[in-house]
Structure 1
Amino acid sequence: MKNFSFIILLLVCAACKQKPKPDAVAVEETRTSGSVTMLVDESFSKVLDDQIAVFKTDYPDSKFKVIEGNEQQILPTFLNDSVRVLISSRMLTPEEDKIYRNRSIVPKTSRFAIDGIALITNRENPDSNINVNEVVDILKGISAGGKQLVFDNAYSSTLRYFKQLAGIKTLPVKGVYTLKTNNDVIKYVGGHKGFIGVIGVNWLIANNDSMSVELARIKPMGVKNEKGKKGDNQYYKPTQANLIDGIYPFLRNVYIIDAEGRNGLGTGFATWLVSPRGQLIVLKSGLGPHKMASRDFNFKNTN
């Protein structure tokens, strides 16, 4: 028993003298490693998911935290310096830019995609064309055609785009309505023939699997631009080719705004988005890329 007790005592002493396990080695903060938090306009969340997935495959030491929301939700968070990377459909105003410059940080803005805003209608509706002037009249509350618009929510970048287009600050009492999400718009239009839904092209394309039943009940409308502007000769649908050619009337840019103030992962990701690999993902998503990659052909002299 004395020998057994002595052995137990030795084991206890040895356990006490074991060195603690070292902490996990922190990942170095570089343009391709470390972590970054990004604020993302929910209209572009689908294309960002694809971009991040491929980026992480190339650079496994990178970590992303994405906070989605409508434009008026995420912009104040960006401006109060809580999160310094933003995905938006608009650039900062001079006043907003100055907020960061007063902190000795110069925000860097890069366009990486061209999005379209689709107008959708019930598939059984025989009228599937509309012109820009008709849309503006509905927004101003002076339309006599009985058409009505439905937006995702009252604080979205999509609604801001059309309010600026019509030159209005408030919506009319009748004819323009807001719901909560883009999917709500798709579902509503699919069940009501008298309404026109307004939704980002990227969101519409990315929902092919999860919203297949609802999408089968709607169709995109053709839009003719105002006279004297590009796309005024006929009705154009929001196809990728029409986005790239700039003939679909309702176009908007997609930007990444980096205000990290250092050469970190946010900066690296912003650069990667406009690289040939990042632009190829934009192209596959159905949107218009910031720039088309040139194609070189080598002709051999066979004589």
Structure 2
Amino acid sequence: MTAFWSCDNTQPKRAQTIVSGKVKVITDETLLPVMEEQVAVFEHLYDRTEVDMTSAQENQIINKLLNGEVEVAVLTRQLTARENEFFKKRKFTPRVYRFAIDAVAVVVNKQVSDSVITLDHLVKIMRGEETGAALNRLVFDNPNSSTVRFLKEIAGVDSLPPSGVYALKSNLDVLKYVYETPQSVGVVGVSWIVRPDNETKKYVEGIKVLAIKGRDGEPAGSGYYKPSQSNLADSLYALARPVYIINAEPRKSLGMGFAAHLTGESGQRVILKAGLLPDSIPPRELIIRE
């Protein structure tokens, strides 16, 4: 998607266009650090804009989108056929753009000797099966989060087991819990680890990211891989997932401009710095001196 606006500052600050006015955006909480950075860059580039960014769990975001409480959302999945049917009844189709590949990171306390884990091990925990290993307590951010839904889909289960899997309130809570509880395994969005803020940094310094081996027969099953950008690009990391911006504005407004930013060069560079894989990798110019 190509950015197509100018930086003309002749319009009033509150005029609702693709480069001015105010828009309310709700993002998946696992992506909050990188999306806060995106908002800061966007508002700096286009000083007549104001993006009201909030975060929530996946189920809450979908409900707000369908109820019309918010028109622009950032999710790690597309809308389902049933959800799209809701908009079809209103004779409207939301605009959906993929702009990144995210990694769900698996973390443990630095005191833990293990540095690797298999996807089969995680699946067994999700199914409530005995793993025979010390690392058998899986901690998520929230029972309604996208990471829980993602792992449930991989494990092929509809609900969490009565023991072995725990849900807190946020990604920060997971990092803090793993920092304080060596026998636990945390599941968080990778951007919470790559560029931590002052509050998060203490906990990030006390944990480590495990390398994961995927299923046999798949590229990610050929070895143990960490959630690096190169591994995401080569489809070697087992817990990778796409990131979308869903624009349900019935008119051309600031939501379209923000989507253009995310998919354009400036937004893709933010993605690159945040440790996710950009949907289109920004070019780099090399100056070769004689």
Give the TM-score of the pair, scaled to structure 2. Answer: 0.90
Corresponding residue for residue 4 of structure 2:
none
- Correspondent of 1:260 among 232, 235, 249: 249
Say whether the 8 Å CA contact 1:51–1:281 is kept in structure 2: yes
Query: Over residues 135-194 of structure 1, what are the superposed CA-to-partner deviations in whole Å (9 max), with x where a residue is unaligned?
Result: 101110112324221111111111110011101011111111111111111111112222
Q: Which amino acid counterpart does residue 86 of structure 1 have in structure 2?
A: A
Displaced runs of 4+ in structure 1, greater than 4 A?
294-299
1:67 Cα deviation from its structure 2 partner = 2.4
Sequence identity (%): 38
1:34 matched residue in structure 2: 21
Q: In structure 2, how many angstroms separate the alpha carbons of the residues matched to 1:267 and 1:213?
A: 37
**Partner deviation per Cα, 1:258-300 (whole Å, 9 max, x = no partner):** 010211110111112111121111111111101123457899x
**Are 1:123 and 2:110 matched, yes or no?**
yes
Does the Cα contact within 8 Å between 1:244 and 1:289 map onto a contact in 2? Answer: no
Code of the residue aligned with 1:195 in structure 2: it is: S
CA contact (8 A) 2:23 2:254 kept: yes
Q: Highest Rg: 1 or 2?
A: 1
C-alpha distance in 2, partners of 1:294/1:186? 34
Q: Does 1:154 align with 2:152?
A: no
Counterpart position of 2:61: 74
Task: Tell me: CA distance 1:296–1:205, structure 2 relative to 1, closer, same or farther (3 Å).
Answer: closer
- Aligned pair 1:284/2:273, yes or no? yes
Asked if 1:90 is matched to 2:69, the reply is: no
**Distance in 1 of aligned mates of 2:216 and 2:197:** 34
Structure 1 SS opposite 2:161: coil
Residue-by-residue CA offset, 1:91-129 (whole Å, 9 max, x unaligned)? 001111121122122101101111100100111111121
The answer (yes or no) to whether the contact 1:208–1:215 under 8 Å persists in 2 is: no
CA change 1:297–1:54 in 2 (3 A) is: closer
Tell me, yes or no, if the aligned pair for 2:121 and 2:131 is still in contact at 8 Å.
no
Q: CA 1:27 to 1:214, structure 2 compared with 1: closer, same or farther past 3 Å?
A: closer
In the alignment, does 2:200 pair up with 1:234?
A: no
Task: Indicate the SS of the match to 1:211.
Answer: helix
Structure 1 pair 297–247 and aligned structure 2 pair: CA distance change class (3 A): same
Q: How many equivalent pairs are there?
A: 276
Correspondences of 1:44-59 after superposition (within 5 Å): 44-59=31-46
- Unpaired runs of 5+ residues, structure 1, are 1-24
Q: Distance in 1 between matches of 2:39 and 2:131?
A: 46
Q: Letter of the 2:114 partner, please give it.
A: D
2:99 pairs with one of 92, 97, 112: 112
Q: Where does residue 258 of structure 2 map in the other structure?
A: 269
How far, CA to CA, are the matches of 1:154 and 1:243 in structure 2?
26
Structure 2 distance, partners of 1:134, 1:70, is 25
1:222 paired to 2:221? no
Q: Is the 8 A contact 2:29 2:171 kept in 1?
A: no
Residue 125 to residue 92, structure 1, CA distance change in 2 (3 Å): same
Report what 1:169 is aligned to. 158
